[in-house]
């Protein structure tokens, strides 16, 4: 795997009627999702991997954005794919999974969703203080590169933008409240050892969505950024099988 950090978005037009929106996580960038996006594109599918506003530059830029900005970007990708695709899927890591869930809530005709360690709540005791902290403290040390595989860098910000994190927390509340609206097929991967997103996040998703077609896969050999970790090939191949089955 090429470890050179590349924050650029990925835009690929395939030769089939299948389209996939790939959503990266909070303070991350397309770098953490690029191998997965390329694997999906290699199937002949159209793929959009946008760079979310305020990401891939400086954490200070993230503090100037909100969850509405991030969601607008991935929704724009869905609109773009619908111009020439008969079925559109959404896949995402961490907050990218939250964005994918929101797409499913807002677009009932979305064909399916693949989630990796989705983030729909924050259990840290200080999470509720984020709106106040954001007024006096622009950033805090980040917990990045939660990857079991040695020598891999996800290219995330070295600090967590507090105002942006407060907006993320508000977004999570919106998505949690609307989880019953998710009725599409769902494939959910979650790591047994995730030091960023607590396991209860996946439990909340699985308990509250109304999908009849749900697959849960526990990843034993990866930490939070599983898309760059030991289980990445399993995620890539499993998502292809999932989409092929639904599109057949």
Q: Which of 167, 224, 229, 239 is catalytic?
A: 224
Phi, psi of 199 (to 5 degrees): -55, -25
Decide if 190 is catalytic.
no
Q: Rounded to whole angstroms, how far apart are CA atoms 3 and 140?
A: 26
Q: Is 171 flagged in the annotation as binding? A: no
Handedness of CA 65, 67, 71, 74 (dihedral sign): positive
CB burial of 214-239 (b: ≥16 within 10 Å; e: otherwise) equals: eeeeebeebbbbbbbbbbbebbbebb
Q: Which residues pair with 214 in a beta bridge?
A: 186
Locate 240 and state its tokens: 């292809």
> Is there a contact between 46 and 81 (Cβ–Cβ < 8 Å)?
yes
Decide if 80 is catalytic.
no
Q: Which of 146, 194, 229, 231 is catalytic?
A: 194
Output DSSP code: residue 84: T
> Is there a contact between 125 and 54 (Cβ–Cβ < 8 Å)?
no
Q: Which segments of the chain are extended strands (E)?
A: 10-12, 18-23, 46-49, 87-93, 112-116, 139-141, 159-161, 186-191, 214-219
Q: Which of 46, 94, 191, 239 is catalytic?
A: 94
Q: Which residues pair with 88 in a beta bridge?
A: 19
Q: Is 26 flagged in the annotation as binding? A: yes
Decide if 94 is catalytic.
yes
> Is there a contact between 116 and 189 (Cβ–Cβ < 8 Å)?
yes
Which residues belong to the annotated binding site?
26, 95
Which residues belong to the annotated binding site for substrate?
26, 95
Q: Active-site residue numbers?
A: 94, 194, 224
């Amino acid at each position: 795997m090429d470890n050179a950090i590349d924050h650029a978005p990925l835009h690929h037009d395939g030769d089939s009627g299948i389209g996939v929106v790939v959503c990266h996580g909070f303070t991350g960038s397309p770098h953490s999702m690029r191998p997965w996006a390329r694997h999906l594109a290699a199937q002949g599918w159209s793929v959009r991997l946008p760079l979310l506003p305020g990401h891939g530059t400086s954490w200070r830029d993230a503090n100037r954005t909100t969850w509405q900005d991030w969601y607008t970007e991935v929704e724009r990708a869905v609109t773009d794919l619908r111009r020439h695709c008969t079925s559109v899927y959404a896949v995402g890591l961490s907050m990218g999974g939250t964005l994918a869930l929101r797409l499913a809530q807002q677009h009932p005709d979305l064909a399916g969703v693949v989630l990796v360690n989705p983030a729909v709540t924050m259990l840290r005791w200080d999470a509720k203080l984020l709106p106040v902290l954001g007024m006096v403290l622009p950033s805090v040390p980040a917990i990045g590169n939660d990857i079991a595989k040695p020598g891999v860098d996800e290219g995330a910000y070295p600090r967590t933008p507090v105002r942006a994190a407060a907006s993320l927390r508000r977004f999570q509340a919106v998505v949690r409240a609307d989880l019953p609206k998710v009725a599409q097929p769902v494939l959910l991967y979650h790591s047994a050892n995730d030091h960023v997103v607590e396991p209860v996040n996946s439990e909340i998703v699985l308990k509250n969505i109304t999908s009849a077609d749900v697959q849960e896969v526990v990843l034993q050999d990866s930490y939070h950024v599983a898309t760059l970790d030991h289980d990445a090939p399993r995620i890539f191949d499993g998502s292809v099988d999932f989409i092929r089955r639904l599109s057949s």
